[in-house]
Amino acid sequence: MSGMHIAVPGAGEVSALLVTPEQPSALYVLAHGAGAGMRHPFMEAMARRLAARKIATLRYQFPYVENRRGRPDPEPVLLATVRAAVATGREAAGDIPLIAGGKSMGGRMTSRAAAAAPLDGVAGLAFLGFPLHPAGRPGTGRADHLAKVDLPMLFMQGTRDTLADLALLRPVLEKLGPRATLRVFDDADHSFHVRKKSGASDEQVLDELAQSIAGWWQERA
C-alpha cells in the first residue's frame, strides 16, 4: 500500500491510498461514503479483498474529510474530486482499465460526474449501496442522471437498505437495460451489516461484495 496526494482544482490536496496486487486486471477508483473516510474499516476490508482477487484500488478523501469538516462539500467540489481521483488512477494504472464508484455518496457522486462528462479511461462503475433516496423519503429522483451514463454499472444493494427501496430501484435499473447489473444481499443494511438470524456474517458479505465486483469485471474483460 502506498500513500499519495491528489490535487483538486480549487480545493487543495487530498490524501489517497493505492493498493496494487501482482498482475491486476483492473484498478477500482474507490470513493468513501458521506459519514466516513477512506480508512474506515469497510473501505480497508474491501481493498484487501479486492487485492486478493487481482483488482487494485485507489481510495481517496473528499476535501471535507481531509480537512475534518463535518458537512460534505458542495457538489461541484465533490465532482471535481472524483475527476481528479480518476485522473490519478488513470496515471497509476498504466495499461490496465479503470473501474470507478464507491460507497453510498461516493458512488453516487462518481455517477454524477460520469453523467456530466466521460471519465477518461473508466470502463465501468461499481456502487456499494447506491443511495437512491434519503431514509424515510422514498423516491427515484437521485437516479435520473443514470440514463446519461453510457457505461456498464454494477449495483450492490442490501434488502434492508433504508436508502434504497428495491421495489423502486429495480424498475429504474430495468430502464437502463443491459448496462445495469443488480446484486442483492439478503438481510444486509446500507452498511452491509447482516443480523445473526440471517445465517450469514459481515465477513461473508464482504467476501461476496468483492467477488461480485471481480466476477462482474471478468465477464466484461
Residue 30: helix, strand or coil by DSSP? strand
Q: Specify whether the CB–CB gap between 193 and 159 falls below 8 A.
A: no
With bands split at pLDDT 50, 70 and 90, how would you rate the model's confidence at 15?
A: very high
For the chain, the domains span 2-220
Q: Stretch 66-90: mean pLDDT, rounded? A: 96
Alpha carbon distance 8, 6 (integer Å) = 6
Q: Specify whether the CB–CB gap between 54 and 23 falls below 8 A.
A: yes
Q: 96-143 pLDDT, tens per residue?
A: 999 999 999 999 999 999 999 999 999 999 999 999 999 999 999 999
Is residue 157 exposed (0-12), middle (13-18) or buried (19+ Cβ within 10 Å)? buried
Q: Going edge to edge, which strands form the sheet with 55-60? A: 2-8, 12-19, 55-60, 26-31, 98-103, 122-128, 153-158, 180-185
Q: 25-65 pLDDT, tens per residue?
A: 999 999 999 999 999 999 999 999 999 999 999 999 999 99
Quick one: fold of 2-220? Rossmann fold (3.40.50)
Torsion region of 177: left, alpha or beta (phi above 0 gives left; psi -120 to 50 gives alpha): left
With bands split at pLDDT 50, 70 and 90, how would you rate the model's confidence at 70?
A: confident
Q: Is the pTM of this model over 0.85?
A: yes
Alpha carbon distance 119, 90 (integer Å) = 10
